[in-house]
Amino acid sequence: QVQLVESGGGSVQAGGSLRLSCAASDDTYSSYWMGWFRQAPGKEREGVAAIYVRGGNTYYADSVKGRFTISLDNAENTLYLQMYSLKPEDTAMYYCAAGAIPYGGSWSTGDSVRYWGQGTQVTVSS
């Protein structure tokens, strides 16, 4: 069982920045990919960004491309999400995830997630 603990959420004004962190209790190499999802009240969960642990390939939702950067420190078993130019529509609970090979689909569906963090709230005011 891998535990994922997020931190770094908070409240910022539009245009501001935040960096989320996700500390994993186990070697990140035990997962095929790691990523971030978010869910706002009344909305479906959205895959925000993912990074493949061994290759380092990164993937982003269109809504965050050019504003968010995902990175992974394998030595520290920590996943990051650097968020710039935040918008009110980025307001959501952000969840860290660690996943297996997404056979037959994309990581962004969440179907291949093996472990979830407890979430950290990001609130962006206009």
DSSP result, the chain: ---EEEE--EEEETT--EEEEEEESS-GGGSSEEEEEEE-TTS--EEEEEEETTT--EEE-TTTTTTEEEEEETTTTEEEEEE-S--GGG-EEEEEEEE---TTS-GGGSTTEEEE---EEEEEE-
pLDDT tens track, the chain, 126 positions: 889 999 999 999 999 999 999 999 988 888 999 999 999 999 999 999 999 999 899 999 999 999 999 999 999 999 999 999 999 999 999 999 999 988 878 999 999 999 999 999 999 999
